[in-house]
Amino acid sequence: MTADFRETAMAALASRPKADPEWLAARRAQAESEFQDHGFPTAKDEAWRFTSVRSITRLPFAPRSGGTTVRGDVPEGVSVERLADVLEKQPRLLEPHLGRLSKPEFFSALNAAMFDDALVVRIAKGAVVEAPIELGSDAGADGSADSEPTVVYQRLFVLAEENSQATIVERHEGTSTSPHLSNSVTEILVGKNAKLSHYLVHQGWSTGHRIAAVAVEQARSSSYASHVFTFGGALSRLDMRCVLAGEGAECALDGLYLARDGEHVDHQTLVDHASAHCSSQQKYKGILDGKGRGVFDGTVVVRRDAQKSDAHQENRNLLLSDTAIVNTKPHLEIDADDVTCSHGATVGQLDQNQLFYLRARGIDAAAAKAVLTHAFASELIERVKLAPLAEELGKLLRKSLPAGELVEDAL
Amino acid sequence: MMLRIENLHASVGGTEILKGIDLEVNPGEVHAIMGPNGSGKSTLANVLAGRDGYEVTSGSIKYQGKDLMELPPEERAREGIFLAFQYPVEIPGVSNLYFLKAGMNAVRRHRGEPELDAMDFMKLAKEKMKLVDLDKELAKRSVNSGFSGGEKKRNEIFQMAMLEPKLAILDETDSGLDIDALKVVSEGVNALRSPERSMVVITHYQRLLDYIVPDHVHVLFQGKIVRSGGKGLALELEEKGYEAIRTDSPPAAAP
Ligand SMILES: Nc1ncnc2c1ncn2[C@@H]1O[C@H](COP(=O)(O)OP(=O)(O)OP(=O)(O)O)[C@@H](O)[C@H]1O
Ligand SMILES: [Mg+2]
C-alpha cells in the first residue's frame, strides 16, 4: 500500500529544519503534538460534518515551497517581508500574536508546525494607503496526472496598525494536473481605529484542494471588510473567524462561492462579539451546479458583556440542478440581552417567473438561466470597491458559471 | 390570418381553465377581451406566449398559419408575439436596457437582420422612451426593480415599441395607471397600430377602449367567450355587468 498524507506529513515533520527563536519553536512543537494527537478531522468533528477530507488524507502529499508572494509594487506605508527577515531584525515582535489568533487544529496545526516562508504584511500607523497590496500564489501548471501530489503551506500575518487604512487583494490559483493541496493560515490584527479591506479570490481546479483559515482580531473602533470569492475546486474550505475584541469594532464578511459538478466548497464563519457596541454583517451566497456540493456554517457569538451588539447574517443558495447539494447552518449564540441580531438562510432554484419574462422577450432558455444566475452572484461583485477588480471578477464569474459565456453574448 | 384559435382547452395544475375558445384575429385588427376576475384572460395570454405549466388539452392555435404550440416562448417572441404582462416581473441585477438589447438582437438575428450596436440601440431606446414618457434613469435600472405599478406598465409598452411585434397581447396594461399615464400609454399603443400589426387588449375598463378603439370586443366568462361584438359591447357591459351580458342573448339581427 502506498503512503497516505498522515505518513508523509509525519515524515516531513521529523525532517523539518529547526532554526526558530525559542518562542516560535515552542509553538511549533505544541502544534506538532496537537497534530500527532488528533490528525485530520472526521465526520465526528462537528465543524467537518458535511465535508469529508478523504480526498486529501488518502494521498501522500509531499511538501514543496510556493507560499504566498507579493505581486507588483508594495505601496508606500506598507512593508511586506519574509518572516525570517522580520525575526532576524526583531525576534520578539510577533511573539504576542503569531499563532495566537489562529487556533492550531487539524490542518492549521499542521500548518503551524510546517510553514517555512511566512509573509508578514505591516501597514504603518496612520498610513492611508490607496493602492491595494496585491498578494497571491499560483500552484502552477506543472506536473502530470501521475506525478507526486504536493502540498504548500502558506502562512500570512497582517498587522494593520492604529489609524491605518489599506486594502489587501489575494489571488490564489493553479491548473496543475497532479493533485495539489494548499494549506493556508492567515492571521490579521486590525489595530485601533484602523480600516482593512481584504479580498480573497480563489480559483479552484479539478485537482486543487485548498484548506484555508483566516483569523482576525479587531481592536477598538476598527473595521474589517472581507470579500471572499471561491470559484470551485476539488475541495475548497475556508474558515473565517473574526473576533470583535475592542468596543465599536465592525466587520463585514461577504462571500460568493460556486461549486460545479464534482466540486466541494465549504465556508465556515465565526464572528465573536466580545465587546460592546460592535456590529457585524455577513452576506454569503452560493451557486451549486451538477453534482456540486456547498456547505455554509456561520456562527455569531455575542458574549454577555457585548451589549448593543448589532449582528446580521445571511446565506442564500441557488441550486442549478437536481443533483446539487447544499448544507447551510446559520446560528446565533447570544448571551447579552440588549442586541439586534438577525440571521437567515435560503436554498432555492431560479425563479420561473423571471425565466419566463426573459424568454418572452426572445432570450433563449439557456441564456436566460445564465443571465439570472449571473444576476444572483453579481450583487457581491457590485460590493467590490476596486473597479478593475470588480471587472476582473465579473469576467472570472462568467468564465466559471455554467453557460457563463452566454451572459456575455446575451448582454 | 394573424391568429386562429380553435376550440382551445387549457389546464393549469390539472384544473381546466379555458374551456373551448374560438378566436380569429386578422392583421391590423384590435380585439378587446373583457371578463370578470378569474375568467381566464391571463391564462389565455400565457398560453399564447408559451408559459410552462399551461397545458393545452385540446384545440389548436395557429399563428400566421403555423402551429404555435410547437414553439418555446423565445421562438414565439422572435416570430413576433409580444405579451405585455399583467404583473411585470422584477429582476434585480439584470439591467433593463441590456436585457432588452439581448432580446432585440435575438429577434433581429432570427429575422436575418443585423444586430444593433450599443449606439444605435441607445438612439432607438431614447426615441421609444419618449413615446411612453419613461424616465431614462428608470430604463437603466434593473428590470422593473422598485418600479411603481404605473412605471412597470410603461416599461412593458416601451419594450413593445422596441421589439415591434406582429401580435401584441396587452394584459391589463391600463390597471394601475393614473388618467394621465393611461393617455400616454394609449397614445403609445395607438402609435404602434398598423395594418400589419394585430393587438389583443385585455381590460376591465371600457375607459381604455375610448383611447384604444377596438375593432372587436369579446366577453370571456368561465373559460369561454360568451359574447362577441363591436366596440359598443364594452359600453353595454359597463352598464349591465357581466351577469346580464352572459344571460342576454345577442341582439337579434334586424329583420
Ligand atoms: N398556477 C395556477 N394554478 C392553479 N390555478 C390557477 C393558476 N393560475 C391561474 N389559476 C386559476 O385560473 C383561473 C383563471 O385565472 P386568470 O389569471 O386567467 O384570470 P383572469 O381572467 O386573468 O383574472 P384577473 O381579471 O383577476 O386578472 C383562476 O381561477 C385562477 O385561480
Ligand atoms: Mg389576469
Task: Write down the residue that cell numbers 370571456 correspond to.
Answer: B220
Tens of each residue's pLDDT in chain B, 255 residues: 999 999 999 999 999 999 999 999 999 999 999 999 999 999 999 999 999 999 999 999 999 999 999 899 999 999 999 999 999 999 999 999 989 999 999 999 999 999 999 999 999 999 999 988 899 888 889 999 999 999 999 999 999 999 999 999 999 999 989 999 899 889 989 999 999 999 999 999 888 999 999 999 999 999 999 999 999 999 898 888 888 877 765 544 444
Better pLDDT: A176 or A211: A211
With a 6 A CB cut-off, is B38 part of the ligand 1 pocket? yes
Provide the shortest C-alpha distance from residue B123 to chain A (in Å). 17
pLDDT at B241 (0 to 100):
85
Q: Which of A256, A351, A354, A361 would you mutate first to test chain B, the one with the most B CBs within 10 A?
A: A361
- Domain limits of chain A? 5-349, 351-411
In this prediction, residues A140-168 reach a mean pLDDT of: 87
Establish if B93 touches chain A: CB-CB under 8 angstroms: yes
In this prediction, residues A109-113 reach a mean pLDDT of: 97
Better pLDDT: A174 or A1: A174
Distance B17 CA to ligand 1 centre (A): 8
Q: What is the CA radius of gyration of chain A?
A: 21
Distance B36 CA to ligand 2 centre (A): 9
Residues near A44 by beta carbon (within 8 Å), at least 6 away in sequence: none
pTM for the full predicted model: 0.92
Residue A367 has pLDDT above 80, yes or no: yes
Q: How far apart are CA B180 and CA A295, in angstroms?
A: 52
Q: Which of B51, B74, B82, B113 would you mutate first to test chain A, the one with the most A CBs within 10 A?
A: B74
**Residue B234 CB: number of other CB atoms within 10 A?**
23
Provide the shortest C-alpha distance from residue B83 to chain A (in Å). 7
Nearest CA to A370 out of A332, A399, A348, A341 is that of A399
Beta-carbon separation of A359 and B77 below 8 A:
yes
3 state SS of A63: strand
Nearest chain B residue to A379, by CA: B93
The kind and range of the H/E element at A141 are none
pLDDT at A336 (0 to 100):
93
Distance B49 CA to ligand 2 centre (A): 14
Q: How far apart are CA A196 and CA A224, in angstroms?
A: 5
Nearest chain B residue to A353, by CA: B89
Residue A143 has pLDDT above 60, yes or no: no
Range name among A133-147, A177-191, A226-240 with the lowest pLDDT average: A133-147
Backbone angles phi, psi at B108, to 5 degrees: -65, -40
Position A142 confidence tier, pLDDT thresholds 50, 70, 90? low
ipTM: 0.95
Probe residue for ligand 1, chosen from B15, B33, B170 as the CB with the greatest number of ligand atoms within 8 Å: B15
How far apart are the two ends of chain A, measured CA to CA in Å?
A: 54
In this prediction, residues A40-59 reach a mean pLDDT of: 96
pLDDT at A65 (0 to 100):
84
State the number of CA atoms in the 13 A half-sphere of A218 facing the CB. 33
Dihedral sign for Cα B132, B134, B140, B144, please.
negative
pLDDT tens-digit readout, A293-348: 999 999 999 999 999 999 999 999 999 999 999 999 998 999 999 999 999 999 99
Beta-carbon separation of A367 and B73 below 8 A:
no
pLDDT at B249 (0 to 100):
54
Q: Whose CA is nearest to atom 2 of ligand 1?
A: B12
Establish if B78 touches chain A: CB-CB under 8 angstroms: yes
In this prediction, residues A148-173 reach a mean pLDDT of: 96
Q: How far apart are CA B124 and CA B113, in angstroms?
A: 16
pLDDT at B255 (0 to 100):
42
Question: Residue A312 corresponds to which cell in the numbers above?
Answer: 446580521
Position A146 confidence tier, pLDDT thresholds 50, 70, 90? low
Probe residue for ligand 1, chosen from B39, B47, B200 as the CB with the greatest number of ligand atoms within 8 Å: B39
Distance A215 CA to ligand 1 centre (A): 54
Residues near A26 by beta carbon (within 8 Å), at least 6 away in sequence: none
Residue A213 has pLDDT above 80, yes or no: yes
Q: How far apart are CA B12 and CA B43, in angstroms?
A: 8
Give me the DSSP letters along A77-103. TEEEEEHHHHHHH-TTTTTTTTTTSS-
pLDDT tens-digit readout, A5-21: 999 999 999 998 878 89
pLDDT tens-digit readout, B169-195: 999 999 989 999 899 889 989 999 999
Question: Residue B173 corresponds to which cell in the numbers above?
Answer: 396594461
Q: Which of A355, A359, A371 would you mutate first to test chain B, the one with the most B CBs within 10 A?
A: A359
Closest ligand to residue B204's CA: 1
Beta-carbon separation of A371 and B74 below 8 A:
no
Provide the shortest C-alpha distance from residue B237 to chain A (in Å). 32
pLDDT at A144 (0 to 100):
57
Establish if B102 touches chain A: CB-CB under 8 angstroms: yes
Strands A180-190, B142-143: pairing kind: unpaired
**A380, A285 in Cβ contact below 8 A?**
yes
Probe residue for ligand 1, chosen from B11, B37, B51 as the CB with the greatest number of ligand atoms within 8 Å: B37
Strand boundaries in A106-149, DSSP class E: 119-123, 133-138
